[in-house]
Structure formats: C-alpha cells, structure tokens
Amino acid sequence: MSIIEKKRGIVIALDITDADLAVELARQLCGLEGNFIFKIGRPLEMQRGYKIISEIKKISQIPIIYDGKIADIPYISSRIAQIAYEAGADAVIVHGFVGRDVIESILELNRGDVIVVIGMTHPGASQYINPIAKQLVEIVNILGVNGVVLPATKPEIISSIAPMLEKDIYIMSPGIKAQGAEVGDAIKTGADYEIIGRAIYGASNPKKIAEEFYKIVRLL
Ligand code: 3DU
C-alpha cells in the first residue's frame, strides 16, 4: 500500500536555496485545495540538512518526498533513506540505474514510499538512462515499488512505459514549463503527477498558480 495515492496531482519541487524562504513558502501553500505533494531535493537540503524535512512536516499536512536521487551502494543508500524517513519524509527517490539491490535495501526499511527514476528530462538522458528505461521497468515491477519518475519532455517514453507498469505504480513527471513541456502534457500521456518547480516557486503568487495548474490536470 502506497502513502501517496495514485491519482492526478501536482508535486511542488521546493528547490529554493534560502531555507527560511522555503519554509515560508510551504506555510503559504499549506491551505492548497487539491492533491498536492512537496518535494525536497538537494538544493534545499544543502542549506539546512535533513532537518528541513521535519521543519516543513511540522507546518503542513502535505505529503513530503525526499528527492536525494539516491545512487550509492545499498548500505549507504538505505542509510540516506532512513534519515529522510525518520525526519518525516513519506517517500524517497532513488535512481534505478544503480540496480536491484539498492532499491531492495530501501524497500526493506518499510518506512514509506519508494520512487524510482527510470527516465530523465535532459538531453544527456538519451545517452544512458532513457535507453534502459524498459529494462528498469522489469525491476520496479518485480520489486513492487510505489512510484517511478518519467520525463514530461519525452512523452513517447511515458506513453510506451505507462502500459508496462504494474497498475498500482504511480508515475511522476518533471520537465513542465521551465524545461519545455506544458502543464497537462505528461498526464495526457499516462502520468499521474506532474512535478513542477520554478513555474510555481518563482511565480508572484505561488499558491494561485499551483491551484491553476492543478485545475488543468484535474479537468483533463
Ligand atoms: O524544472 P523545474 O524547476 O520545474 O524543476 C523540476 C524538478 O524535477 C527539479 O526538482 C528536478 O530535480 C526534478 N527532476 C527533473 O527536473 C528532471 C528529471 O529527469 C528528474 C527530476
């Protein structure tokens, strides 16, 4: 059973490098109407360490993903994930290319959702990771992970991978606005969540724009 529901929603990437501002933004976004998730990645973590997860958890009911893009040996990867879960993360993101034992080591913790990156948005992703996305699907299906990350900038990858995934695995897709895809593009091709950073936290009214984006994906 996943903590994060498999239904349409928006993941807000809190990639702000001023931790006080990030906390303030999370406070402003507390009352968001709709299905929203917060994603805390390395840029914010580098400012205040894992405690930023607890800090944001304390002020909001919105589920939190720790996006450390974990990619180390199983022993280290599971320790990183454990720290994130203990700090209040509901899910962690791990790279799929590092192999089955790494993903298993995090699943064995049984502390929250495990989301696996099986495709990426940037041009260089065509060199190594995206060509092996289908092989990574086999692993995530066998292991029963909770979610996967697939690129909104490459709709053909989402549409070919989505039908191959076990039906309860949710798909989260970054690459919206700042990286070129439009709101709704990934959902239309089979994603459940769109991950959006700059177009929300860089807006003059982040709460308003987040709700507008959510309305678009909900009504598709
Ligand atoms: O481009 P944005 O500002 O909307 O941020 C996108 C977020 O999604 C950011 O946190 C980044 O780390 C994450 N992400 C990608 O952009 C592309 C990927 O392939 C995987 C994750």
CA-nearest residue for atom 20, ligand 1, is: 120
Per-residue pLDDT, averaged over 120-141, amounts to 98
Distance (Å, rounded) from C-alpha 180 to C-alpha 36?
Answer: 21
**Cα 183 to averaged position of ligand 1 atoms, centre (Å):** 14
pTM of the model: 0.98
**Cα 142 to averaged position of ligand 1 atoms, centre (Å):** 26
Q: For residue 210, what pLDDT is reported?
A: 98
Output the DSSP codes for the chain.
Answer: --SS-SSSEEEEE---S-HHHHHHHHHHHTT--SSEEEEEEHHHHHHHTTHHHHHHHHH--S-EEEEEEE-S-HHHHHHHHHHHHHHT-SEEEEESTT-HHHHHHHHTT-SSEEEEE---SSGGGGTTTGGGHHHHHHHHHHHT-SEEE--TT-HHHHHHHGGGS-TT-EEEEE-BSTTSBPTTHHHHTT-SEEEE-HHHHTSSSHHHHHHHHHHHHHH-
- pLDDT-derived band at 204 (thresholds 50, 70, 90) equals very high
Q: For residue 94, what pLDDT is reported?
A: 99
**Cα 197 to averaged position of ligand 1 atoms, centre (Å):** 7
* Ligand 1 pocket, mutate which of 121, 150, 201 (most atoms under 8 A from CB): 121
- The catalytic position among 7, 39, 57, 69 is 69
Q: For residue 79, what pLDDT is reported?
A: 98
Q: For residue 218, what pLDDT is reported?
A: 96
Per-residue pLDDT, averaged over 91-115, amounts to 98
**69 tagged catalytic:** yes
- pLDDT-derived band at 83 (thresholds 50, 70, 90) equals very high
Ligand 1 residue neighbourhood (C-beta within 6 Å): 13, 15, 41, 120-121, 149, 151, 174-176, 178-179, 195-199
**Cα 213 to averaged position of ligand 1 atoms, centre (Å):** 16
What is the overall mean pLDDT for the chain?
97
**Cα 181 to averaged position of ligand 1 atoms, centre (Å):** 12
Q: For residue 95, what pLDDT is reported?
A: 98
Per-residue pLDDT, averaged over 158-171, amounts to 98
- pLDDT-derived band at 71 (thresholds 50, 70, 90) equals very high
Q: Which atom of ligand 1 is least distant from the CA of 120?
A: 19
CA-nearest residue for atom 13, ligand 1, is: 174
